[in-house]
């Protein structure tokens, strides 16, 4: 007797899932009082073709006897249980290791300067697109399912980390831009206010000594006076940084270098015990 059977599989723990597929033989016409099914040698194992090798699973077979009740009628049944245990080494090399390296690659942007906008944005966007492509390939190898499996959680978290890296750069660049605009306004107001005061004192001194002395218009004198004032004064005394920009740009960028790897490590310490709980 040869048969092609189907098995309803569960992929919630993919790729560390264990699929159990029972194959049952019974009589639908005769109850157990008429026909009894028994294995010829119930103590021996099921014979397996030694030339049969599965690429991604370890196969175990278990046989037994049971009784099935249908419409208050008991039937004799024998079964063979196929147990497919997926090998995780293949998925470690094809899924988890490359995605973890891509996430680590996106963190290199933290060591780039804030002026390296094309480099940081390109690095984050390229990493995000690479994860999307990898995730699409993984989902293409699985049958459609309405629930979330272990690989979905892993890939979604990796994409979230890369997206957070890009968002961190946007926030830091926004704060840095606001700080630069504020500093420029402070410097501009300080220089021109100092230039106007110096220009007023020059006019008063020249007027007291000689009334025939030529007075330069403010447009010509103010820039030169502002440059002289800027060269004589300490640049750190021109303005006071606002409270919201008190090194927040540097603090956020430097803290992210440590915070993101630690958060990813914490996620791994929580994710893997839950995923491998099926094996325990």
Q: What is the mean pLDDT of the chain?
A: 78
pLDDT tops 60 at residue 275: yes
Average pLDDT of the segment spanning 1-23:
86
Of 118 and 231, more confident: 118
At residue 188 the predicted structure's pLDDT band, cuts being 50, 70 and 90, is low
- Amino acid 194: pLDDT: 54
Please say whether the beta carbons of 242 and 182 come within 8 A: yes
Residue 159 CA to residue 267 CA, distance in Å, equals 13
Beta bridge partners of 86: 57
The distance of Cα 206 from the centroid of its chain, to the nearest Å, equals 69
pLDDT in tens, 205-231: 455 555 555 444 444 444 444 444 444
- Amino acid 164: pLDDT: 94
pLDDT tops 70 at residue 241: no
Residue 153 CA to residue 150 CA, distance in Å, equals 5
- Amino acid 167: pLDDT: 93
Average pLDDT of the segment spanning 73-92:
88
Residue 257 CA to residue 139 CA, distance in Å, equals 32
Average pLDDT of the segment spanning 117-130:
91
Distance, first Cα to last Cα, the chain: 37
At residue 264 the predicted structure's pLDDT band, cuts being 50, 70 and 90, is very high
Average pLDDT of the segment spanning 144-165:
90
């Amino acid at each position: 007797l040869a048969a092609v059977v189907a098995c309803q599989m569960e992929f919630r723990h993919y790729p560390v899932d264990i699929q159990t597929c029972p194959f049952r033989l019974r009589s639908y016409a005769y109850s157990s009082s008429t026909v009894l099914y028994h294995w010829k040698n119930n103590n021996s194992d099921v014979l397996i073709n030694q030339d049969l090798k599965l690429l991604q699973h370890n196969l175990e077979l278990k046989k037994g006897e049971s009784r099935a009740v249908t419409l208050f009628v008991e039937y004799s049944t024998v079964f063979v249980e196929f147990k497919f245990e997926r090998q995780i080494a293949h998925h470690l090399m094809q899924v988890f290791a490359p995605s973890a390296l891509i996430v680590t690659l996106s963190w290199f942007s933290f060591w780039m300067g804030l002026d390296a906008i094309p480099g940081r944005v390109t690095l984050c966007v390229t990493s995000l697109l690479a994860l999307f492509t990898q995730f699409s390939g993984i989902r293409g190898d699985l049958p459609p399912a309405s629930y979330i499996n272990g690989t979905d959680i892993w890939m979604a978290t990796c994409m979230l980390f890369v997206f957070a890296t890009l968002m961190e750069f946007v926030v830091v660049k926004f704060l840095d831009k606001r700080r630069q605009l504020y500093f420029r306004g402070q410097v501009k107001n300080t220089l021109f206010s100092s230039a106007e005061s110096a220009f007023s004192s020059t006019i008063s001194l020249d007027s007291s000594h000689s009334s025939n002395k030529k007075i330069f218009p403010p447009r010509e004198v103010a820039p030169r006076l502002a440059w002289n004032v800027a060269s004589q004064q300490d640049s750190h005394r021109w303005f006071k940084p606002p409270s919201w920009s008190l090194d927040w740009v540097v603090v956020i960028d430097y803290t992210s270098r440590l915070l993101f790897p630690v958060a990813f490590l914490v996620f791994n310490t929580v994710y893997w015990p839950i995923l491998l709980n099926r094996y325990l």
